[in-house]
């Protein structure tokens, strides 16, 4: 490609989920409702945990941080999509696109690590109950969240530094509703071999290793629960980690489904539709999963709603 076709890109075009003009209003209303429910639900969870003394425990401390991560995760992509749908525009600035890449990676990795920390918390609570409060003291809990955030921030900044070195061609179109890192790398005119290697390495490390940690934790938890003779004790033990296990299955299940669909399908637009599951739907469903399966959360939510009203 000649040098005359290379330029510094000032903006990209997000093609979105559909080109059908009749669907734009429907998509706007649908995603606006999903975003409001996501923010409200996760915000209520956070307020309930911080305001109710009964929920000042490690498990709910991690849950409140997961809720904040879910709010941030949705805010990275949905508001810009809503603006584009409302204004019938597809543009996003170069700086805005890189910002989406950074923060999307940050909160995706953070959610993965927080789910791993929550699995470790359940492992200690069920398998080592006598030492649980000694090990999971407030300092340790804060340190685990800080380490998770720091690792996520460093990896997202590494992606940014690598992306900033790439050269893009004119008239760049991204067949997605947000700046998806792999698709953005594929549009570059310069050599992207290092970027692709970095994406696979970090994705495998911060996706696969936490998942293995969660699977190991639950293998220990299940083997410990099986040894419990009381049926009431087994039910109580399962109920304390049932919500977390449901969220783990939803997060990793939808993420793996998007990955498999992207490898099986050659249509970028279909991949964008599939990615709605883990980028939009999962953060919305998490508060419902925790509130419906947890009496303490339901009681605290009702008290919070009554105080607000």
DSSP secondary-structure letter at 129? G
What pLDDT score does 5 carry? 43
SS3 letters across 33-98: HHHHHHHHHHHHHHHHHHHCHHHCCHHHHHHHHHHHHHHHHHHHHHHHHHHHHHHCCCEEEHHHHH
pLDDT tens profile 234-261: 676 677 788 888 888 888 887 777 766 6
Does the pLDDT of residue 262 top 70, yes or no? no
To the question of domain 9-308 being in CATH 2.30.29.30, the answer is no
So what's the pLDDT on residue 238? 73
Does position 300 have pLDDT exceeding 80, yes or no?
no
Task: State residue 3's pLDDT score.
Answer: 40
Q: What is the pLDDT of residues 36-75, one digit of tens each?
A: 999 999 998 998 889 888 888 999 999 999 999 999 999 9
Which pLDDT belongs to residue 267? 65
Confidence of residue 265 (pLDDT cuts 50, 70, 90): low
- Other CB atoms within 10 Å distance of the CB of residue 157: 13
Residue predicted with more confidence, 249 or 265: 249
pTM of the model: 0.89
Q: What is the pLDDT of residue 261?
A: 62
- Domain spans of the chain? 9-308
């Amino acid at each position: 490609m000649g040098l005359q076709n290379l330029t510094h890109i000032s903006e990209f075009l997000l093609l979105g989920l559909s080109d059908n003009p009749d669907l734009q209003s429907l998509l706007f209303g649908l995603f606006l409702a999903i975003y409001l429910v996501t923010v409200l639900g996760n915000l209520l969870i956070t307020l309930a945990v911080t305001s109710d003394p009964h929920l000042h425990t490690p498990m709910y401390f991690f849950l409140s941080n997961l809720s904040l991560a879910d709010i941030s995760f949705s805010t990275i992509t949905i508001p810009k999509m809503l603006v584009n749908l409302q204004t019938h525009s597809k543009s996003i600035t170069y700086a805005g696109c890189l910002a989406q890449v950074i923060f999307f990676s940050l909160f995706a990795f953070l959610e993965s690590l927080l789910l791993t920390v929550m699995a470790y918390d359940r492992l200690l609570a069920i398998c080592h109950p006598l030492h649980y409060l000694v090990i999971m003291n407030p300092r340790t809990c804060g340190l685990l969240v800080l380490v998770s955030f720091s690792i996520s921030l460093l990896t997202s900044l590494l992606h940014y530094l690598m992306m900033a070195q790439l050269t893009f061609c004119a008239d760049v179109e991204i067949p997605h509703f947000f700046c998806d890192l792999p698709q953005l790398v594929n549009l570059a005119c310069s050599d992207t071999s290092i970027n692709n290697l970095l994406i696979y390495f970090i994705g495998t490390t911060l996706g696969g290793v936490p998942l293995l940690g969660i699977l190991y934790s639950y293998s220990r938890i299940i083997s410990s629960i099986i040894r419990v003779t009381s049926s009431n004790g087994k039910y109580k033990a399962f109920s304390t980690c049932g919500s977390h296990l449901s969220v783990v299955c939803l997060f990793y299940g939808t993420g793996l489904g998007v990955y498999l669909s992207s490898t099986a399908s050659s249509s970028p637009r279909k991949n964008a539709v599939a990615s709605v599951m883990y980028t939009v739907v999962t953060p919305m469903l998490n508060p419902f999963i925790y509130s419906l399966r947890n009496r303490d959360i339901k009681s605290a939510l009702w008290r919070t709603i009554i105080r607000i009203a």
